Structure 1
Amino acid sequence: MAGPSAKPDPFVQPRVRLDKWLWAARFFKSRVLAADLVASGHLRLNSQPCRKSAHGVHLGDVLTFPQGRQIRVVRVLALGEIRGPATQAQQMYQDLAPATDPPLE
């Protein structure tokens, strides 16, 4: 059993709760809304359905979920447990959804 003076395991990746990361990255206004989305089964983590908001998110994971009228596909670039400014939140992920061109007039 590891005590307070134990060395961290170099093979264990740091992780953050899924609902906490979605909230900190400013995809949802509250953790409750983020947890509700996950519980509804409309979120995929690395192409696999995920229904547990306590599931851990690691660096490099890809999340696919609906937000408003669009489907978001993002890669996790940084882990965050606190909700900071929008500019800081945008640095936590890479948007992988294809860019849509505005309609021609």
Structure 2
Amino acid sequence: MAEQEIMPIEAASRQRLDKWLFFTRLTKSRSIAQKAIESGKVLVNDRRVTQPSHAVKAGDVVMLSLDRRDVSVRMRGAGSRRGPFEEARLLYDDLTPVPVPGERLTPFEQATREPGSGRPTKRERRETDRLQEGWGGGDEE
């Protein structure tokens, strides 16, 4: 298998931001990368970038806001293809802080409740009714 060509930092080669995000496997497709950039979810060196053709070079810090997490990486070099994860990982240094559990929840996760909180379920109501019947709490005529 051929090694992925990684440009050294000295070469300071530049690459389109959308291609680089795709090559690093931070986005699933180049079109998704373009949409994220155009919607303002990508910052390069603390500046919002809205052009997918923006050129990035080695040493640039790229911050990407994804659905479930925020990613911050420092670019090591430009890639030539979208390879496996091991190759893609060589293109950047991960600067992302450790995520806090429950920090960013999806709408589905926000809608779910903890078991035992709020209104009882049908099963819990039946168990309560059985308990009350056993203690003579039921209405018997």
Q: Give TM-score, length-normalised by structure 2.
A: 0.61
Distance 1:41 1:102 in 2: 25
**Unaligned stretches of 5+ residues in structure 1:** 1-11
**Unaligned stretches of 5+ residues in structure 2:** 1-10, 103-141
- 2:18 is aligned to 19
* 1:102, distance to aligned residue in structure 2 (A): 6.5
Q: Which amino acid aligns with 1:43?
A: V
Distance 2:66 2:100 in 1: 19
* 1:67, distance to aligned residue in structure 2 (A): 2.0
Higher helix fraction (1 or 2) = 2
The reply to whether residue 68 of structure 1 matches residue 99 of structure 2 is no
On the 8 A contact 2:13/2:77 being kept in 1, the answer is no
Distance 1:41 1:47 in 2: 12
* 1:101, distance to aligned residue in structure 2 (A): 6.6
* 1:13, distance to aligned residue in structure 2 (A): 3.4
Distance 1:97 1:23 in 2: 18
- 2:90 is aligned to 91
Higher strand fraction (1 or 2) = 1
* 1:37, distance to aligned residue in structure 2 (A): 0.2
Q: Give TM-score, length-normalised by structure 1.
A: 0.80
Q: Which amino acid aligns with 1:28?
A: T
Distance 2:30 2:101 in 1: 32
1:41-80 matched pairs, under 5 angstroms: 41-80=40-79
Query: Which contiguous aligned blocks of 4+ residues in structure 1 show a shift greater than 4 angstroms?
Result: none
Percentage of matched positions with identical amino acids: 36
Paired positions, count: 93
The reply to whether residue 82 of structure 1 matches residue 90 of structure 2 is no
